[in-house]
Amino acid sequence: TNMMRVAVIGGEGIGPEVTGQARRVLSWFTERRRLPVTLEDAEFGLEAYRRTGKVIPPETRAAIDGADAILFGATGGPETAEVPAEARREGSLLKLRRSLDLYANLRPIITDPALYEAAPLKERVLRGVDFIIVRELSSGIYFGEPRGIETGPDGSRRGFNTNSYTAEEVRRVARFAFGLARSRRGRLCSVDKANVMEASVLWREEVVALHASEFPDVALSHLYVDNAAMQIVRDPAQFDVMVTDNIFGDILSDCAAMAAGSLGMLPSASLGPADTRGRRQALYEPVHGSAPDIAGKGIANPLGSILSVAMMLRLTLGQPDDAALLERAVADALARGARTADIAEPGQAALSTAAMGDAVLASLERLAA
Ligand code: NAD
Ligand code: IPM
Ligand code: MN
Cα–Cα distance for residue pair 367/324, rounded to 1 Å: 11
* 321 appears as a binding residue in the annotation: no
193-204 mean pLDDT:
98
Of all residues in the chain, the percent with pLDDT exceeding 70 is: 100
CB 45 less than 6 A from any atom of ligand 2: no
Q: Residue 312: what pLDDT?
A: 98
Angle at 32 between CA 28 and CA 33, to 5 degrees: 100
Report the separation in Å between the CA atom of 299 and the middle of ligand 1, taken as the mean of its atom positions. 13
What value of ipTM does the predicted structure carry? 0.99
Cα–Cα distance for residue pair 317/70, rounded to 1 Å: 12
Of ligand 2's listed atoms, the one at least distance from the Cα of 75 is: 6
CB 267 less than 6 A from any atom of ligand 1: no
Of ligand 2's listed atoms, the one at least distance from the Cα of 93 is: 7
* 97 appears as a binding residue in the annotation: yes
Task: Give residue 128's region: left, alpha or beta (phi > 0; psi -120 to 50).
Answer: left
Maximal C-alpha separation, the chain = 73
Task: Give residue 188's region: left, alpha or beta (phi > 0; psi -120 to 50).
Answer: beta
Every domain of the chain and the residues it spans: 1-101+267-369, 119-260
Whether 243 shows a pLDDT value over 90: the answer reads yes
* Helical packing angle, 353-368 and 15-32, nearest 10°: 20
pLDDT tens digits, residue range 247-287?
Answer: 999 999 999 999 999 999 999 999 999 999 999 999 999 99
Q: Which residue has the higher pLDDT, 89 or 210?
A: 210
Whether 193 shows a pLDDT value over 90: the answer reads yes
Nearest residue by C-alpha to atom 37 in ligand 1: 289
Task: Give the global pTM.
Answer: 0.98
Nearest residue by C-alpha to atom 30 in ligand 1: 289
The answer to whether 359 touches 304, Cβ cutoff 8 Å, is no
* pLDDT-wise least confident of 10-19, 88-97, 124-133, 341-350: 88-97
Q: What is the mean pLDDT of the chain?
A: 97
Q: In a 10 Å sphere around its CB, with 0-12 CB exposed, 13-18 middle and 19+ buried, how is residue 345 labelled?
A: exposed
Q: Residue 86: what pLDDT?
A: 85
210-227 mean pLDDT:
98
Nearest residue by C-alpha to atom 44 in ligand 1: 289
* 299 appears as a binding residue in the annotation: yes
Report the separation in Å between the CA atom of 349 and the middle of ligand 2, taken as the mean of its atom positions. 31
CATH topology of domain 1-101+267-369: Isopropylmalate Dehydrogenase (3.40.718)
209-223 mean pLDDT:
98
Q: Residue 1: what pLDDT?
A: 61
323-342 mean pLDDT:
98
Cα–Cα distance for residue pair 309/73, rounded to 1 Å: 11
Tell me which residues are annotated as active site: 142, 193, 226, 250, 254
Residue 246 φ then ψ, to 5°: -65, -55
The answer to whether 36 touches 1, Cβ cutoff 8 Å, is yes
Whether 1-101+267-369 and 119-260 share one fold: the answer is yes
* Helical packing angle, 303-315 and 353-368, nearest 10°: 40
pLDDT band at 88 (very low <50, low <70, confident <90, very high): confident
Q: Give the ligand whose atoms come closest to the C-alpha of residue 261.
A: 1
Q: What is the CATH code for 119-260?
A: 3.40.718.10
332-339 mean pLDDT:
98
CB 285 less than 6 A from any atom of ligand 2: no
Give the single-character DSSP code of 116.
T
Q: Residue 87: what pLDDT?
A: 85
Of ligand 2's listed atoms, the one at least distance from the Cα of 97 is: 12
Report the separation in Å between the CA atom of 249 and the middle of ligand 3, taken as the mean of its atom positions. 8
